[in-house]
Structure 1
Amino acid sequence: MHRPSTLGNRSSYAHGLSQQATSAATATKLIEKKKEYDGVAALEKASSLFLERMTGMMEDCDVMANAGEVHGEVLEQWPKMFHILNLFLTSRSGESEEHGANFEADGQMLVRVPIDELQNATQQADTA
């Protein structure tokens, strides 16, 4: 009675176990890679949101810089405005001739131009 050897069956059984171990290791590696990919995707999304926020802040800073320039230009005009108002007040109050002579010598004088008369004169000239 010769009994067949079971050695061949055992090796195939061991081979099946090694395939299962390899399959489990591959599945574990796949899960780790998926977690890594999800982390990179989350980082990319956070980076794009950060970029959008920084771009918005940059635009706000540009608006503030432009407003600062305009504010500076307005402040630069105030001395000229006060000078014009001073000319108006001196011409209206009829200050002394000396003060008026100083303004005329400088060539600076506030002059009132009657717009209505000027417009009527130009309309009459156009119709003639």
Structure 2
Amino acid sequence: MDPTKLQTCHSNALAAAARLRLPLRSRVWRGQAGEFTGGGTGSSMDFQDHRAYSPGDDPRHINWQAYARTGNYTMKLFREEVRPVVDLILDASESMFFDEEKAARVAEIFYLIAESSQSAGASLALHAVRGEAPADCEL
């Protein structure tokens, strides 16, 4: 695909990404540390709850003030913060790039997903597949 057509695809995708957003904020996520609230407990600064101490717990999270009052070990629990990952699987077989118009639509969709993921604060993992095996692609 020529660079001018590719630039047009990128511009179209940027315009669409400005109107469309990935609905990431409404879900509870699991993943790497980041800015989204996870489904469990973690090590953020936001306090979530207390629970009884269990052998093997990190002693840095013992609530020593509660221990001084009650004589029981209590653990402080904090909110988990995660960074979701958007997995994009790209069909890199020759049939996807045989027709110039089809290749342009693929490029627009790729750019749209990449821009939307970035603006939503998610990581993008690209998996290019050619047939039944992973493919090497220049993007």
User: Is the TM-score greater than 0.5?
Assistant: no
Structure richer in helix, relative to its length: 1
Structure with bigger gyration radius: 1
Q: TM-score, normalised by structure 2?
A: 0.17
Structure ranking higher in strand proportion: 2
Higher RCO (CA 8 Å, separation ≥ 6 residues): 2
Q: With the length of structure 1 as denominator, give the TM-score of the two structures.
A: 0.18
